[in-house]
A = this chain, B = another copy of it.
């Protein structure tokens, strides 16, 4: 299922522009990259140690738990003061806490016998370092999009909340390099101009639904277009209910200083009874390329139409593991996992009605045929009802039952996960019909019609 989400993301986001590509730089990168990116200096968490039991904690989290307000932007000194003011003590032993310090979140490594490197804490830097070469290799056009789907690593002081804060996690990130003079140009903007975005501005409590064109008074066209494309990915393709999706603008305090615009992508997550960040749309300006130019000494200016400049970057960033978890939770109700056909773990379950009279063998034969093309499983144990229930729980889209009629006329019943409706079709049509269902070219209701029409033609009595 995780691979399917990755493939689904890849197909959608890489096809947004013909000049978007996936690359795979290494996960270990030399120290210089992170001096340039600012991670060596800024990528730190605030840590506080109990004077008594020596346990360590995230200082901002301790303050947040007490105040129920974000404390991520506070400095070490401010946090130390807050901890004293709020009289926060060690959650483990109740002992007195020490002063707040910074701890870098990257994993350091020795490369070979002498060079210093780090495991990347985000995938983005790989794209910035590769930009100049990729720009040359793709015939020097902008916008140029470079995507990475891969691991990132953060030595979290306290990993927690399941897939939400892990030391090793999978990111899918797309860096779009563009000409800043053209930030208000966007060829395909018409497609989305009346499309309503669900946005919570940093200075407001409510979520507004605003047509894209009405956002242009405060956000550039190029940026709004990609907000729309992100929302469409969740609402139209992954079928997330609109009330569970929103963009949240980060206030100046919350966002990185180099991000001119920063909206988090948030999904409502029942487990936390709250919206949780599962991605972000960041306008990073020319900060990264400028820094890499300075530290590496490599000229990262490009020339297009006699204009020499450093491209700006729009970053679309997604946490695959968080999306994975949110999708599971938002799709599961009444013991049915209603996942989109493209990300559901299994497309087909195959069940012989009983395990005798050749029904088992017939089912096994069909299973071996269908699994060449679809993700299938074969289940012959327990009652049919129990098998349906098991299939529903893991999101299986269609259940095929082999019964005595199958042996007579090579037809099977196909059952729809979401409606639990069933219809009898020919085995010879099965592959074609399921393919069309998964591609959402037809609905399950259409099958009934197709079968009726065919039967009429063939002179069946209906």
Nearest CB on B from A412, distance (A)? 19
Closest B residue by C-beta to A25 = B168
Chain B residues closer than 8 Å to A153, beta-carbon distance: 28
Bound complex: CA of A24 vs CA of B112, how far in Å? 27
- By the criterion CB–CB under 8 Å, are A167 and B111 in contact? yes
Task: List A332-382 residues whose CB lies under 8 Å from chain B.
Answer: 367, 371-372, 377-378
| A72 contacts chain B at the CB level, 8 A cutoff | no
- By the criterion CB–CB under 8 Å, are B28 and A167 in contact? yes
Closest B residue by C-beta to A367 = B18
Bound complex: CA of A168 vs CA of B26, how far in Å? 7
- By the criterion CB–CB under 8 Å, are B18 and A371 in contact? yes
| A89 contacts chain B at the CB level, 8 A cutoff | no
Q: Determine which residue in A10, A103, A168 has the highest number of CB atoms from chain B within 10 A of its CB, and name it.
A: A168
Closest B residue by C-beta to A49 = B113
- By the criterion CB–CB under 8 Å, are A111 and B155 in contact? yes
- By the criterion CB–CB under 8 Å, are A151 and B27 in contact? yes
Chain B residues closer than 8 Å to A28, beta-carbon distance: 107, 153, 167-168
Bound complex: CA of A378 vs CA of B372, how far in Å? 32
Closest B residue by C-beta to A28 = B168
Nearest CB on B from A413, distance (A)? 22
Contact with B along A1-20 (1 / 0, CB 8 A): 01100000010000100100
Q: Copy number of this protein in the oligomer?
A: 2
| A416 contacts chain B at the CB level, 8 A cutoff | no
Bound complex: CA of A325 vs CA of B379, how far in Å? 41
Closest B residue by C-beta to A368 = B18
Nearest CB on B from A155, distance (A)? 7
| A109 contacts chain B at the CB level, 8 A cutoff | yes
Nearest CB on B from A366, distance (A)? 13
Place the interface of chain A in its size category. 20 to 34
A112 interface neighbour in B22, B26, B27, B155, Cβ under 8 Å: B155
Chain B residues closer than 8 Å to A35, beta-carbon distance: none
Chain B residues closer than 8 Å to A3, beta-carbon distance: 10, 22
- By the criterion CB–CB under 8 Å, are A168 and B367 in contact? no
A15 interface neighbour in B112, B167, B371, Cβ under 8 Å: B371
Bound complex: CA of A378 vs CA of B27, how far in Å? 32
Closest B residue by C-beta to A55 = B113
Bound complex: CA of A300 vs CA of B10, how far in Å? 39
Nearest CB on B from A112, distance (A)? 7
| A142 contacts chain B at the CB level, 8 A cutoff | no
Chain B residues closer than 8 Å to A10, beta-carbon distance: 3
Nearest CB on B from A183, distance (A)? 24
Closest B residue by C-beta to A6 = B3
- By the criterion CB–CB under 8 Å, are A27 and B168 in contact? yes
Bound complex: CA of A377 vs CA of B15, how far in Å? 11
Chain B residues closer than 8 Å to A371, beta-carbon distance: 15, 18
| A56 contacts chain B at the CB level, 8 A cutoff | yes
Nearest CB on B from A43, distance (A)? 16
- By the criterion CB–CB under 8 Å, are B56 and A372 in contact? no
Nearest CB on B from A241, distance (A)? 26
Bound complex: CA of A3 vs CA of B6, how far in Å? 11
- By the criterion CB–CB under 8 Å, are A56 and B113 in contact? yes
| A157 contacts chain B at the CB level, 8 A cutoff | yes
Chain B residues closer than 8 Å to A156, beta-carbon distance: 112
- By the criterion CB–CB under 8 Å, are B56 and A378 in contact? no
Nearest CB on B from A305, distance (A)? 17
Chain B residues closer than 8 Å to A111, beta-carbon distance: 155, 167
Enumerate 6 A-B pairs (CB-CB under 8 Å) in ascending A order.
A2-B24, A26-B167, A27-B168, A28-B167, A28-B168, A113-B157
Binding site for B on A (CB under 8 A): 2-3, 10, 15, 18, 22, 24, 26-28, 56, 103, 107, 109-113, 119, 151, 153, 155-157, 167-168, 367, 371-372, 377-378
User: 9 nearest interchain CB pairs?
Assistant: A26-B168, A107-B109, A28-B168, A56-B113, A15-B371, A27-B168, A27-B151, A2-B24, A18-B378
Known: A18-B371, A26-B167. 8 other contacts (CB 8 A): A2-B24, A3-B10, A18-B377, A27-B168, A56-B113, A107-B110, A112-B157, A119-B119
